[in-house]
Structure 1
Amino acid sequence: MFRTAVLAALIAFPAMASAQDAQVDKPPQRIRSVTLTGDQKCPASSGNEIVVCSTLDQPYRIPKALREDKPIAAQNQSWVNRAATMDQVGRVAGGLPDTCSAVGTGGQSGCFMQRNQAYAAERRASATESNTQP
């Protein structure tokens, strides 16, 4: 029984290999990435091109259910993010420009920027809330 299966596999293997070689003469000359909107269909590829399609509502390969939108905990952040946070804290404490600090001359420009960023974050949050509700 085992010998028969091995013999059949050895006979079929060269036939499968030649079938694979026959399908691919040369690599594609062009790879085209297409972003689809609405109910558009992915265009057909021609002889020497590969077409990769994605939609605007699902730009990532990770399913929505598995994506995490929560902020990353401090102990899990990279050293670069930690250093940037410490730098920003030092800038605010020193009253440097664009820091929203009562100390120093450049604090008011930073307060305006922080309010603007908070407003933009609120708008993004309300937009994603309205998109996720059925």
Structure 2
Amino acid sequence: MTRLPLAMLILAGAAIAQPAAAQDTGPVGPANEKINQVIVYGNDKCPEANGDEILVCAVLPEGDRYRVPQIFRGGDPLDPRNEAWVNRVVSLQRVGRFGTDSCSPVGLGGFTGCTQQLLAGAKAERQAADKTDWQAMIADERAKRLAGIDAAADTVEAAVVAEEKALADRQKQAEETAPATDAPATDNPDAEPLPVPPPR
């Protein structure tokens, strides 16, 4: 009888020692590898892996950089379940609206209120419209072009004035260095003067 508990005690001690021995051998297998998953957008470069790290880069288009990730975007945008609550409330507000100032064919005075509805719709369209002021943008671009033309004209005019001044300086220097005599220059000082033609 004493042999059985003694054998159980020895087996239990061996079982406890085996996990400790397995831990001493170091990391083995893919469970202990370091994996880094990186998402890059457009032309961004994938970072380099450090040491034994496994680096995986997913390249997505540049247009997705600031978008909500695909898994959180939901399903079909035309699905009524994905409709905004603001639109749902507006549709609920219109339930039972008839009579005076309702612009509906139901009830007494239902024809009234159409003008207010038209004006409210026009105001909502104006507020929702793009706030781009095309005329101001065109005027700014035109002013930039005119400024460029004026700057180019000023540059050309300055170059012409400088060239004229340089030409005048060269002419003045040429006049100063030229001989002061008005007599025609001749190669031979002993040459006879040309005959004078007789008067007519």
Higher relative contact order (CA 8 A, sep 6+): 1
Common fold by TM > 0.5: no
Structure having the higher Rg = 2
